[in-house]
């Protein structure tokens, strides 16, 4: 089926040829959704045509409107407002769109550009602590963007870079050695990533105590922060690790193994999977090799203390350290190695890094360094920068143990989902297994939707209770709308109503609420394209809310099963069924499951 813009674009070209003897470039024929304060469904922007035709925009719009009214067959009225031609589409067009959507034709081939090979890195946890609320936003964004870009025709490779080396993990390792007394996940019953995270907090507590002791002994604060014995021990452990010390490596492997097992449980609950996992411990040496090679070529420079730097002032940036004075690498070093490895292993047209906005400068510098080192693919790197997520109580700090663990948050979401569902009678009549499954779907759906409905670029406050409201712009509201439709469809089946295909109808008259829902179903293709273009799952989330809200208004104002006219009843059932299908497809893009009973 030709989409509305394609069909009208062809007919406008015919009008221009017939009325003005002009053959125009298709790029000059642009449509937009009619603004709510005007009558119409779709608007032709006439201004680009005025210069070529050499007539006033309003005159051109009036002539085109008259032509379409006589010749189009799908335009039933029009109005001209200051060079904009607002067109009202016939009910028969919307009816036939629904008919073809029901037959599986209307939304086929949703592709907004030529297929590309896109690699998307997200999650990127450190192995010194469990995943937390900030990681949840990262994972949900990365997964949703992957789904959306794949839906519009791209080949997606989802990758995770685990930051499994560096001073942070040495802090946890050292604290475990000093204070752990041989504790393991099995002996304590504590999930592995949580256990290691506890020792990261324990290190910070001991470090602060030592700094305070030094200050009381008369050592200046800044000097005390650098010379605390436990910090010096952690730095020495890092040097031993990079030198391949067998004892340090064995401890590192054991504790990282605990963390990976814990991460896997969290990823599974979130519904997150990766095509490839990279480890910083395996890529930083390649980064060091590339840096030292660039130093030999004179691309980089070395300071007297032995540290290696990149002068990025030609790119509007400053000087960036790539190797410390003691020869150890920094995050930038391993990112250079990882990027080089990926572009060597995969045919990548675009590489998207899903990383918080506190790393904006880091990625500007990374691209600049890679360009300076002569890698043409540096321009294929895109940083999807997203805002921070906080709780109503404020910011979280890993070192101080005030971070909300992802596992704890998900458990709280399920508890809240159970309480609210029971209060509102949403679980009445279900078996215990059915209740547990609904609670899981609703609790996690509420979490995912609340985070993804916010534009990624914006900071946000996550309020667990607000997210599980069954009214308003929430996941449970959309899920309940989907379940309500399936309840109607089950009752129709019990009544012996067969949902046969709709027949083409040129004279159908639609109610405003029917037309509104169909038009929103029509918009899904464009919504998906916009979400892919903007790398914003929020576009889809808020579309789902508008579609669910519109359907609920239709449901309350018009009868479906009690409609006496059999053809109209069938039409409304088909409309309901396809609304459920689009809601499910769209919410699945966000990684959200849709229950058929609630």
pLDDT attached to residue 105 = 67
Whether the predicted pLDDT of 4 surpasses 60: yes
pLDDT at 115: 85
Cα separation of the two ends of the chain: 35
Contact present, 61 and 75 (Cβ < 8 Å): no
Question: What pLDDT is recorded for position 398?
Answer: 42
Give residue 402's pLDDT.
53
What is the average per-residue pLDDT within 122-138? 94
pLDDT tens, residue by residue, 208-257: 999 999 999 999 999 999 999 999 999 999 999 989 999 999 999 999 99
pLDDT score, position 394: 55
pLDDT tops 80 at residue 508: yes
For the whole model, what pTM was predicted? 0.91
Q: In this structure, are residues 95 and 510 in contact, taking their beta carbons and an 8 Å threshold?
A: yes
Mean pLDDT over residues 494-509, rounded? 87
Say yes or no to pLDDT of 109 above 60: no
pLDDT, residue 569, reads 96
Is residue 139 predicted with pLDDT exceeding 80? Answer: yes
Contact 118, 156 (CB under 8 A): yes
β-pair partners for 77: 88
In angstroms, rounded to a whole number, what is the distance separating the alpha carbons of residues 3 and 190?
56
**Average of per-residue pLDDT across 436-455:** 96
Q: For residue 1, what pLDDT band results from cuts at 50, 70 and 90?
A: low
Q: Are 124 and 138 in contact (CB under 8 A)?
A: yes
Give CA 333 to chain center in angstroms.
Answer: 27
pLDDT at residue 110 greater than cutoff 70: no
Burial 435-455 (b: 16+ CB within 10 A, else e): beebbbbbbbbbbbbbbbbbe
Asked if residue 315 has pLDDT above 70, the reply is: yes
Mean pLDDT of 294-298: 97
pLDDT band at residue 396 using 50, 70 and 90 as cut-offs = very low
Angle, in degrees to the nearest 10, between helices 246-270 and 406-423: 20
Question: How many Cβ atoms are within 10 Å of 167's Cβ, its own excluded?
Answer: 14
At residue 108, does pLDDT exceed 80?
Answer: no
How far apart CA 62 and CA 83 sit, in angstroms, is: 9
- Between β-strands 84-89 and 42-45, what pairing exists: parallel, antiparallel or unpaired? antiparallel
The domains located in the chain, with CATH, are 4-89 (3.30.1360.70), 122-390 (3.40.50.620), 406-589 (1.10.730.10)
- For the record, the structure tokens of 315 come out as 């790119």
Could you tell me the pLDDT band of residue 566, with boundaries at 50, 70 and 90? very high
Does the pLDDT at position 450 exceed 60?
yes
Distance CA 451, CA 445 (A): 10
- 397 confidence band (pLDDT: 50, 70, 90): very low
DSSP string for residues in 536-567 = -HHHHHHHHHHHHHHHHHHHHHS-STT-S-HH
The region of weakest confidence among 274-278, 455-459, 498-502 is 498-502
Mean pLDDT of the chain: 93
Report the alpha-carbon distance of residue 49 to residue 23 in Å, rounded. Answer: 11
Beta strand residue intervals within 174-311, DSSP E: 276-279, 301-302, 308-311
């Amino acid at each position: 089926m030709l989409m509305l813009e394609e069909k009208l674009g062809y007919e406008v070209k015919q009008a221009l040829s017939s009325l003005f003897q002009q053959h125009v470039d298709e790029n000059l024929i642009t449509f937009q959704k009619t603004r709510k304060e005007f009558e119409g469904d779709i608007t032709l922007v006439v201004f680009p045509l005025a210069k070529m035709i050499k007539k006033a925009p309003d005159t051109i719009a009036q002539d085109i409107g008259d032509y379409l009214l006589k010749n189009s067959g799908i335009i039933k009225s029009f109005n001209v407002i200051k060079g904009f031609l607002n067109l009202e589409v016939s009910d028969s067009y919307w009816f036939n769109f629904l008919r073809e959507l029901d037959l599986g034709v209307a939304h086929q081939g949703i592709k907004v550009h030529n297929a590309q090979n896109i690699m998307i890195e997200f999650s990127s946890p450190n192995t010194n602590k469990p995943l937390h609320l900030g990681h949840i936003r990262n994972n949900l964004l990365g997964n949703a963007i992957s789904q959306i870009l794949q839906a519009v025709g791209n080949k997606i490779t989802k990758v995770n870079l685990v930051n499994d080396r560096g001073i942070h993990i040495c802090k946890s390792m050292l604290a475990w050695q000093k204070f752990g007394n041989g504790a393991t996940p099995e002996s304590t019953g504590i999930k592995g990533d949580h256990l290691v995270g506890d020792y990261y907090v324990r290190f910070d507590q001991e470090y602060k105590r030592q700094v305070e002791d030094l200050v009381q002994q008369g050592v200046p604060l800044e000097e005390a922060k650098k010379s605390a014995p436990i910090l010096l021990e952690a730095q020495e452990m890092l040097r031993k690790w990079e030198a391949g010390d067998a004892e340090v490596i064995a401890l590192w492997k054991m504790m990282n193994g605990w963390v990976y097992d814990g991460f896997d449980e969290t990823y599974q609950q979130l519904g997150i999977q990766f095509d490839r996992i990279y480890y910083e411990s395996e890529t930083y040496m390649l980064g060091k090799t590339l840096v030292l090679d660039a130093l030999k070529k004179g691309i980089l420079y070395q300071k007297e203390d032995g540290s290696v730097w990149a002068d990025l002032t030609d790119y509007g940036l400053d000087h960036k350290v790539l190797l410390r004075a003691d020869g150890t690498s920094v995050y930038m070093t391993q990112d250079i190695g990882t990027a080089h490895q990926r572009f060597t292993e995969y045919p990548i047209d675009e590489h998207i890094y899903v990383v918080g906005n506190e790393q904006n400068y880091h990625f500007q510098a990374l691209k600049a360094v890679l360009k300076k080192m002569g890698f043409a693919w540096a321009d294929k790197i895109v940083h999807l920068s997203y805002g921070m997520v906080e709780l109503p109580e404020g910011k979280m700090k890993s070192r101080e143990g005030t971070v909300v663990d992802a596992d704890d948050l998900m458990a709280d979401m399920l508890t809240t989902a159970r309480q609210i569902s029971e209060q509102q009678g949403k679980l009445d009549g279900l078996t215990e297994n059915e209740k547990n499954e609904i609670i899981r779907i609703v609790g996690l759906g509420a979490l995912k939707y609340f985070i993804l409905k916010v534009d990624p670029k914006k900071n946000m406050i996550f309020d667990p209770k607000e997210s599980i409201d069954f009214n308003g712009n929430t996941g449970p509201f959309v899920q309940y709308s989907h379940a309500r439709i399936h309840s109607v469809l089950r009752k129709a089946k019990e009544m012996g109503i067969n949902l046969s295909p709709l027949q083409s109808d040129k004279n159908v008259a639609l109610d405003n609420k029917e037309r509104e829902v169909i038009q929103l179903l029509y918009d899904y293709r464009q919504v998906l394209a916009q979400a892919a273009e903007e790398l914003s799952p929020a576009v889809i989330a808020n579309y789902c809310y508008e579609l669910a809200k519109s359907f609920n208004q239709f449901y309350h104002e018009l009868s479906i099963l009690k409609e006496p006219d059999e053809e109209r009843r069938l039409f409304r059932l088909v409309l309901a069924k396809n609304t459920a299908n689009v809601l499910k497809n769209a919410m699945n893009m966000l990684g959200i499951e849709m229950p058929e009973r609630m």
